[in-house]
Structures are given as C-alpha cells and as structure tokens.
Structure 1
Amino acid sequence: MLPRYQVNSASSSPVQPWLFQVQPYSEESFGHFLGRFRRANHLSSAHLSAMLKQRPYVVSYWETPSRRRQPDASALQHLSQLTGVTVECLKSMRSPPGTKLHLLTRLCSCCYSESPHHRWSWQVAERSHCEIHQHRLLEVCPDCRSTLQLPSYWQTGTCDSPTGRLGQRCHLPFQEMSVAQKPQKS
C-alpha cells in the first residue's frame, strides 16, 4: 500500500497543482457544469468537496437541484479559483433564491440537440414546456420509461438506465427523444 501524502495548499512550493478548465455553456445548470468539470479532471464529488475544504457529500448535494443546497460565498470563491469561472458566472448557473424546482430531472430534447447541456430553467416547477420550442419537457426516457439521471451524470448524452434485459442499458440518445415531446396546446 502506498503512503498517503497531504497537499499543503499554503506551501511556498513553486509547483502548483493544475486542473483542466471547462467553459460553461449559456444557461447551463450548476450541477451539469460541476459534473463536466469533475469528469474533465477525473474527480469524484467527494474529492472536489475535499479540495473545497467541505464535507465529502457537499458537492453531490450541490449537483442535485431538488436538495436546494447552495454554496456559500467563500465556497463559490474557492470554486471560482479552481474552475477559472467567475463567481458571477457560477451564480448565474443556479436558480434564483425562492424559485420552486421540479424534483425530477427534465429535458428539452430539441434544445439539447442544439447545444448538449442541461439548462437550469428546465427545472423551474412552473414551467412544463420549453419556452423556446414549446414542447413538453421530458422527465422519463420515452424508450425505457426510466426517470432521467441527474445532469451531473450526463456524460454521453444518452439514457443510461438499465432496461431490465440482462442488465443492458437503454442508451437512447437525448437528441432522438424529441419524437416523444408534444407541442404545447394553444
């Protein structure tokens, strides 16, 4: 077993740790951005929590919109330093305080086809349809009927739910789910 070494961030070592930077998308949800940043740097949510000097579960709570957990000002500042994204931009990825959120993850397949990322506006409880395409927001995969995963786990842009057939996964691409979206009735 290899010995563990603690990195002292206050040391005067000329060697500084580096992280891959991930550029945020317009209106990207906070959880989706954190998931992309973690995958780019091969970090678990517990590891990123430790880097931010938080309890091990904190980042996973931030990635779950229904938990309504938000980073405080010092955590946002530290996250900004790690990601290279301004505090203002990180704040814009979160839903405004007091906004009621839909508990299940939702998706507009048409929007996702145009730009592959989860938008925080899809989680607003009062919105059942995409404001751009006027289609009903999806909560379940139209193929396997499983609820959509948290956006922080959207690595391949497909449904990753087990279908029950010998442990196989569904893998229906989000872009192909648009056939199941119904336009809003006028």
Structure 2
Amino acid sequence: MTTQRTISHAEWLAEADRRFGKDQHKWRFVCPACGHIASIDDWKRAGAETGEVAFSCVGRHAKEPRDAFGKGPGPCNYAGGGLFRLNPVTVRFDDGTDHTVFEFAPMEDVAQEPASAPASAPAPKLSAVELAVLGDIAADRSPWSSDRKRHITTKAVKSLTTKGALRIVADADGYLVEVVTAAGRAALAGGR
C-alpha cells in the first residue's frame, strides 16, 4: 500500500533535482497501479500531453497496455483522474491548488552513470555489429527485434559490456535494462 503525502511545489522540485538532476526529461516516476517506471522522456516519446506526465501511466499510449488492475508487467492503462485515484503524492502550489502525481522512482532504480565516471570517457574500439547494436540501444530501439540474429546480438551485448560501452541494470520490476555508458556514447559519436 502506498502512503499518501502532501508536499509543496518547491519541495517537490527540490526532491526531483536531488534525485535526478536539473534535466526534467530524466525525472522518473512509478505508476501506482502497475509499478512501471517511466521518465518524462518516455511520456513525450509516447505522445502524451503534458498533463498526463506522472498523472496517468505511460501505457495509456501503448498499443496493447495491460489493464490497470490486471496481472503482469506494466505499463498499464491507469488514468489518474479516473474512478480510482491512486496517485500517492499531492503537490500543493503557491496559489493553493493541488495536483496529484505519481511517486518518484526510488534512487536504487535510477540507472545513472557513477559520479566518478569521466565526462569524456575514452571510446573503446567496436566492431560494426557492436556499433549497430549499441546504436539501437542508445536510440531506444530493441536490438533483439532487428535483422541481426539473436545469438549475434547476445554476443555483441556481452562484448559491449566487457568493453565498458554498456551496463546492464535491473529496473524496479526486475527486468534487465541496457544503459549506454559515457564510453559507449563516445564510441557512437566517433563511429568506431
């Protein structure tokens, strides 16, 4: 069961900055119905209106979202303004109005580069297949559904991880997520 809380708009912004930094597009929230974690960028890519961000699940824009109160992984079709209002955080603005939103993603579920990572990491030498797979991941395209054979993609992902161009982390639902590192971005920029 999620705890309800009320927070001022200024406190909410400060908490988001502390967790995720100043780039609001990287802020991440947890759907109270299905537990899916999405960033503001995820809602934007899905075609959501600004008012839907952290208010209704990003799954409302998916082709086949799971039912908000169904079983299985999200995202789902939960709408914050529907009959069941589950949004756990009430943000109180200076003018006295309130807006209910999703809770921020827990810190341990935020895939970020370590603070010690150099801003301009050296680019590892990558093969054409490794570059193609890394490019798919960086562009949020699934490398597994491309024309490449699954075993080639698996070998490339393993190699990219070994070379430091890619990290594999678990999201809140336990699914593995590929994260392109600073070295991987440098390799993509250099095309090598």
TM-score interval for Structure 1 and Structure 2 normalised by the shorter chain: under 0.3
TM-score normalised by length of structure 2: 0.26
TM-score normalised by length of structure 1: 0.26
